[in-house]
Structure 1
Amino acid sequence: MADDPVSRLVPFGAGNAPPTPGPDRPVDLRSDTVTRPTPGMRAAIAGAEVGDDVYAEDPTVNALEAEVAALFGHEAALFAPTGSMANQIAIQLLVPPGEELLCDADAHVVTYETGAAAAIGGVSTRTWSPVGADLDPEVVAAMIRPDGYHTVPTRAVAVEQTHNRGGGGVIPLGTLRELRRVADDAGIGLHCDGARIWHAHIADGVPLTSYGELFDTLSVCLSKGLGAPVGSLVLGSTERITRARTIRKRMGGGMRQVGVLAVAGRYALRHHVQRLAEDHVRAARLADALVPFGVLANPVRTNIVPLDLSKCGFDAPGLATAARQRGVLVSVLGPRTARLVTHHDLDDADVDRAIEVLTAIFRS
């Protein structure tokens, strides 16, 4: 993997092992959002130095914001309680009310954020057909609408790295650079929903600064793969992040002694980024075991194993029910679509158990 500042913060060490599972705990493959704070992270939370973040006086939050901004080569960052809020703040920074954001039809910002772009930001959205990480910048270029008589002008494009509903696919750096050129030619903004950008960084060895320099705004998540209990950040210029603080307050995101949460994110950056490679290896093992059953929706690149059940005898709810009865939890995304996600709270024995259960179900 390419050298990157995050790898030099503090080495992977003791105290960041996942909580010891109980004998009856199911193997939870629904999402990497189910991770719990490690003993070391809990100790860091207990000792956090705090202040009032609405006054910008929480030293731990301020340190986290400066640290993450520097990792991506941006001027500033703002801590937000959720990834959805971080995305919606960024969208409002780039797109005025009544104007347009372009993204793919499976993007998190239009699929899983309860219509917030329209309901809160007054932002119109238009989408291209979902292709996950295999986007074509020329398709995006052809969709951009300039200012004109009675049209809704395009003000920004959003992409997702890695792509959730695209099976954890990684958009290649070259594609993103071409998309940046398209945005520059049109004079519009470019936002990255980087909820799992850490996974892309580990999978492709792309320095975080190489991602950061391509986007006007980014949101990056500290939970999910990094295992913090809560928190995302919006990244951008100093001017934009000053505006973002007002938008966050308007959305109910003004927080007080929130260093107890920010310190978990700082701990995760020091201890949990490099270990994402373990999740990728375990996801690949799961995928390899399921290849004979013809249920993989696309190749596995990171920690998400997407399942297309259209050619087998199960629908997704049926698979989830059968797996749950045997102690394995599976995420249902649609009638014939399911998902398995590896994460910090799973070890090799959990993956072995999941393989045993799922292969037995598909053979039945």
Structure 2
Amino acid sequence: MIELRSDTFTVADEKMRRAMAQAQVGDDVYNEDPTVNNLQKIAGEFFGKESAIFVPSGTMGNLLAVLTACQRGDEIIAEYNSHIFQYEVAGVSALAGVQINPIKGIDGKIPIDYLNGAIRDENIHFPTTRMICLENTHNMSGGKVLEVEYINAVAGIAKKNNIHLHIDGARIFNAAVAQGIDPKKLLENVDSVMVCLSKGLGAPMGSLLVGTEEFINSARKYRKMLGGGMRQWGHAAAAALIALEDGPKRLHEDHENCKALAEALKEKKWTEDVQQSTNICRFFVPDNNQADNFQEYMLKNGVRVQKAGNSFRMVTHFNVSQEDTKKVVELINNF
């Protein structure tokens, strides 16, 4: 079966499995797991920040950033179709007591003039704008990249207004590879970033939250509050270390494979609005019967695709080979 629903379906390879089995472990709640400590040290240096914390999921990482940077009753600005607003079960409001001000963007980017207008003035009726959250790459825009110039422009606005800038970097390595730059360059002017290790990088679980030492120390306590103290967490950290070292080197292959899928889909008269920039391809099939038939046809031929109504998503990753991609392209051409 060729799995194209998400890059979260990646399966740990033999190298990761051996590392997990052989990992040195301790109690991470006591900061005594040597493999976790090593991962966090390497991650902080890798992204050019003072410190990092290993967490079970990207959703928890984003929530920890909000809990740490904000107070109850504050507001954060995020793009309308961002993951933190659409797909994290309203945790920011329910658990952090913080509301999101969602701004409709273009290709995942909030226009700068809209962003300036969304920052609250000091007024007894208004919440305080405490954080801006950007998503890079932007899932719902077909994996669109937020360029370093745009991030730096937003960082300037955040700094001027004493606002915390957080990056939901679930696929930050895809953004860096697409631009041919070091991830540090993308993040040098941001306050915190969440990086997912279990998507395209291939670890079976885990994400990182990276920032200043003071910020991460505070986030560590909130992680415990949320039930994220994972004890002998080094088995997962061992796989994460390999993902961090090896995963980015081959992401360009995923981008090339996804581009091939998008090019095939653009040639078909039954598709509309094909979007692809990195390893995510989104498209729309306006005819209801064709939409249903396409999903059934692909499944019958050994390919799983994600469907929501008449909208589709295909995501490439290291368990989708070039040969797999050729098969999917052929299926698209023959439908």
Range of TM-score over shorter length: over 0.9
Does residue 69 of structure 1 match 2:74?
A: no
Work out the CA distance in 1 between the residues paired with 2:328 and 2:107. Answer: 26
Matches within 5 A, 1:1-364: 26-293=1-268, 295=271, 297-310=273-286, 314=289, 316-332=291-307, 334-361=308-335
Query: Unaligned regions of 5+ residues in structure 2, if any?
Result: none
Q: Is the 8 A contact 2:81 2:108 kept in 1?
A: no
Q: Is the 8 A contact 2:25 2:33 kept in 1?
A: yes
TM superposition score normalised by structure 1: 0.89
Work out the CA distance in 2 between the residues paired with 1:314 and 1:201. Answer: 39
The offset of 1:289, in angstroms, is 1.4
Q: Is the 8 A contact 1:106 1:132 kept in 2?
A: no
Work out the CA distance in 1 between the residues paired with 2:77 and 2:249. Answer: 33
Q: Percent of pairs identical after alignment?
A: 36
Amino acid in structure 2 at the alignment position of 1:343: H
Amino acid in structure 1 at the alignment position of 2:40: E
Work out the CA distance in 1 between the residues paired with 2:205 and 2:289. Answer: 35
Work out the CA distance in 2 between the residues paired with 1:314 and 1:351. Answer: 25
Query: Unaligned regions of 5+ residues in structure 1, if any?
Result: 1-25
Amino acid in structure 2 at the alignment position of 1:302: T
* Cα pair distance change 1:317/1:134, threshold 3 Å: farther
Q: Is the 8 A contact 1:180 1:215 kept in 2?
A: yes
Amino acid in structure 2 at the alignment position of 1:214: N
Amino acid in structure 2 at the alignment position of 1:62: N
Work out the CA distance in 1 between the residues paired with 2:164 and 2:121. Answer: 13
Q: SS at the partner of 2:298?
A: helix
Q: SS at the partner of 1:297?
A: strand
Q: Is the 8 A contact 2:255 2:279 kept in 1?
A: yes
Q: Is the 8 A contact 1:296 1:305 kept in 2?
A: no
Q: SS at the partner of 1:101?
A: strand
Matched length: 334
Q: Is the 8 A contact 2:49 2:211 kept in 1?
A: yes
Q: Deviations over 1:143-165 (max 9, x none)?
A: 11033121112111101000111
Corresponding residue for residue 16 of structure 1: none
Q: Is the 8 A contact 2:305 2:312 kept in 1?
A: yes
Q: Is the 8 A contact 2:141 2:275 kept in 1?
A: no
Amino acid in structure 1 at the alignment position of 2:199: K
Work out the CA distance in 1 between the residues paired with 2:290 and 2:98. Answer: 36
The offset of 1:317, in angstroms, is 4.6
Q: Is the 8 A contact 1:158 1:192 kept in 2?
A: yes
The offset of 1:297, in angstroms, is 2.8
The offset of 1:322, in angstroms, is 2.8
Higher alpha-carbon deviation: 290-299 or 228-237:
290-299
Work out the CA distance in 2 between the residues paired with 1:306 and 1:119. Answer: 30
Q: Deviations over 1:253-275 (max 9, x none)?
A: 01111100001010112222110
Amino acid in structure 2 at the alignment position of 1:355: V
Work out the CA distance in 1 between the residues paired with 2:330 and 2:324. Answer: 10
Amino acid in structure 2 at the alignment position of 1:226: L
Amino acid in structure 2 at the alignment position of 1:160: E
Q: Is the 8 A contact 2:143 2:277 kept in 1?
A: yes
Work out the CA distance in 2 between the residues paired with 1:39 and 1:196. Answer: 23
Q: Deviations over 1:204-223 (max 9, x none)?
A: 01221112212111100111
Q: Deviations over 1:68-114 (max 9, x none)?
A: 11111110000000000001001112221111011011111111111
